[in-house]
Amino acid sequence: MQPGLETNDRISDPSGGSNQTRVRAYNERLVLSLVRRHGHLPKSEIARRSGLSAQTVSVIMRSLEADGLLLRGDPIRGKVGQPSIPMALNPGGVYSFGLKIGRRSADLVLINFLGAPLTSQRITYDYPMPDALLDFASTAILDASKTFSDEDRQKIAGIGIGLPFQLWNWEEQVGAPKGTMDVWKHFDIAAALEERCRFPVFQLNDATVACGAELTFGRGPEFADFVYFFVGTFVGGGIVLNHSVYSGRTGNAGAFGPMPLISADGTSTQLLAETSLYSLEKSLLKEGRDPTFLRHAEANWDDLGEILEEWLDHVAHYLAMAVISACAVIDFEAAIIDGSFPVEIRKRLVEKVSASIDTIDLQGIVLPSIQEGTIGSGARALGAATLPLLNRYLLDQSVLFKELR
């Protein structure tokens, strides 16, 4: 039996209604999700926000506390009546691994129930190959698991993977020998990793999980609907509608890289060709400079000078066009921009996108709020790590924002 599958299995069924066990599972997920969303909540507030009776909430909270998923806070005394006791998620109640597989690097992170990273590891490469990635991930996961007690090892909810859609299609751009990456067409890394590590594995597009990380741990609660752009080796993104990530029919919604645009010379181009770190890499190579430092999250970009300035101006122009194109389809409240670069670079890029939008004809389009993301290069790994938590313990975000009656 896989570690982690034995504990709290009743919570892992997200559907509600067909029988008492499923209703209980749904209600427990609802309580956990509300507490996660608000940090600390007393029983009375959970009952008010969930629509459940006070008695039902009491039973659920006692059960979740007994399972080690909730912790009691200090009593809060009011003017009358019994003091209320706020409940919070137990950081050590659940753990989860997240694996981001990128075109130039891979990250493995272990988080607790609050989403706080506990350990992380990274490898860089010229292009991703499954065997090397499988060895890296399984070794890191098994080594981290060995540091847990037998009891805590049962609290590992699983492994989430964020992986670019149709990775083999980027062979030429990343400089891999022709045909090398075709192996990805038939390699199921989720199944292979589950077989090696004996934890359940969940997989989604890497930019979509980055969007989910921003929704869950970043600016998400501020906006009901937003379009999200993540500038990595190639640009990607995600869509949030009614406080919930919309992944689409194939799980690839919001993959903005292939979005068609018109270049400065009037020819057709794609967003990924104009707004990715790949184009900055090419500019550095033309100048005889080694671009591999861009693959490291802690890299310093201060000495890039005019090359950086030109790249930022170029990227901002095309991101502005992409933002307006997206808002012509859906009336987004905000456009959030993040990426694998230092915080100060993100700030400058967002400022330039806003300035570039001001030069575009916006007749018939309501301008969204242009915002910085908050998580940065770790967004895809963190988002991947939330997949097991969402699948086994929590509910869709949209449930938490329904009108209170």
Q: Tell me, what's the pLDDT at 83? A: 62
pLDDT at 2 over 80: no
**Angle 67-213-197 from CA coordinates, rounded to 5°:** 60
**Angle 24-198-90 from CA coordinates, rounded to 5°:** 45
List pLDDT tens digits, range 232-290: 999 999 999 998 999 888 878 898 999 999 988 889 999 999 999 999 999 999 999 99
Rounded to two decimals, the pTM is 0.87
For residue 9, give the amino acid letter.
D
Cα separation of 41 and 245, whole Å?
A: 25
On whether the CB atoms of residues 6 and 368 are closer than 8 A, the answer is no
For residue 246, give every residue at least 6 positions away whose Cβ sits within 8 Å of its Cβ, in sequence order, or none.
239, 240, 253, 254
pLDDT at 200 over 90: yes
pLDDT at 11 over 70: no
pLDDT at 400 over 60: no
According to DSSP, residue 221 is labeled G
Domains delineated in the chain? 9-90 (1.10.10.10), 95-209+382-391 (3.30.420.40), 214-375 (3.30.420.40)
On whether the CB atoms of residues 265 and 280 are closer than 8 A, the answer is no
On whether the CB atoms of residues 214 and 371 are closer than 8 A, the answer is no
List pLDDT tens digits, range 71-90: 998 777 665 556 678 999 99
For residue 115, give the amino acid letter.
G
For 37, the token pair is: 């969303």
pLDDT at 45 over 70: yes
